[in-house]
Amino acid sequence: MTRLLMAAVVGLATALPAAAQFQKPEDAIKYRQSAFTVMANHLGRVGAMAQGRAPFDAKVAADNTAIVSTMSMLPFHAFVPGSDKGAPNRAKAEVWSDGAKFKAAAEKMQAEVAKLDAAAKGGNLDAIKGAMGAVGGACKACHDDFRAERYSN
Amino acid sequence: MTRLLMAAVVGLATALPAAAQFQKPEDAIKYRQSAFTVMANHLGRVGAMAQGRAPFDAKVAADNTAIVSTMSMLPFHAFVPGSDKGAPNRAKAEVWSDGAKFKAAAEKMQAEVAKLDAAAKGGNLDAIKGAMGAVGGACKACHDDFRAERYSN
């Protein structure tokens, strides 16, 4: 498992994109919302297996966690200064006023997603369930602190 | 290059998600639009290098084509029957009335993206430029046939 986890973490590091290039604030907002949408969809497919709402298929689970892992690295480059406005979005001011805490929350999620991906590659449903719980906790913690209830423009 | 290309194609095959699960047509529309948004952003970063608008960095190019490669497999599972309506979108009726041609167009794009990813892994800018041209052609051909000028709901 340790080697699998290392492989996952190395994989994430190499998947890191360069600093995002966005012409307008609304481009950055659209991009980060899109990345979260794709990530949530594929995480949801694994979650359905973890919760018994879908039959467990180890290959399908691993294919989906690989996509989640790739996506987990993408949105945070797009919270560029000035992109709090420009299109309806739910980013709280704290994203920019407490950037260190936001970065830590993002990295916590990425680390838990890496563990989930490693667990899925291992093919053990119980390990996936445990890792999924930690991913869900990391998502929620960041949403609680940095995502508003309502969209503002 | 052949081995690199094979690796890219095998990588794509294993990245194939299971049949998409969407509760509502608008979920499928939002998902596929999101996947295209992320794909276009990362393709654009490589395109900027190919066109000399950004300095060429082989690692950055390869990191971005890897993301493009992953994204290229995702949207097409979301053109599910009945998802022509439900949210503003630009899918023409031909997506569903000529599904075989649409599938072929998608696979052509995916194949050209795999070649681009292989070229980027090879680190040769001229090879990337050539492959990028073919990707652009495949994108445009599919847009011409299957994407409307205007959004409809």
One-letter amino acid identity for A72? S
Q: Which of residues 27-86 of A touch B (CB under 8 A)?
A: 30-31, 33-35, 37-38, 41-42, 44-45, 48, 54, 57, 60, 63-64, 66-67, 70-71, 74
The helix or strand, by DSSP H or E, that contains position A148, with its residue range, turns out to be strand A147-152
- Rounded distance, CA B130 to CA B113, Å? 12
Query: Which conformational region is residue A20 in: left (phi greater than 0), alpha (psi within -120 to 50 degrees), or beta?
Result: beta
Q: What is the pLDDT of residues B63-112, one digit of tens each?
A: 999 999 999 999 999 999 999 999 999 999 999 999 999 999 999 999 99
- All structural domains of chain B, each given as residue ranges with its CATH number in brackets, are 2-152 (1.20.120.10)
- Rounded distance, CA A106 to CA B31, Å? 22
Q: What is the pLDDT of residues A23-39, one digit of tens each?
A: 999 999 999 999 999 99
- Rounded distance, CA B22 to CA A29, Å? 23
Query: Which conformational region is residue A148 in: left (phi greater than 0), alpha (psi within -120 to 50 degrees), or beta?
Result: beta
- Whether residue A26 lies within 8 A of chain B, CB to CB, comes out as no
Work out the minimum CA distance from A134 to partner chain B, whole angstroms: 23
Cα A105 to the chain's mean position, in Å?
Answer: 10
Q: What is the ipTM, given to two decimal places?
A: 0.86
Q: Single out the residue of A40, A76, A74, A58 nearest to residue A117, CA to CA.
A: A58
Tell me the pLDDT band of B8, cut-offs 50, 70 and 90. very low
Contact B128, B50 (CB under 8 A): yes
Contact B15, A67 (CB under 8 A): yes
The CB-side HSE value for B116 (13 A sphere, CA atoms) comes to 33
Q: What is the pLDDT of residues A85-126, one digit of tens each?
A: 999 999 999 999 999 999 999 999 999 999 999 999 999 999
Provide the 8-state DSSP code for B76: G
Q: What is the pLDDT of residues B119-132, one digit of tens each?
A: 999 999 999 999 99
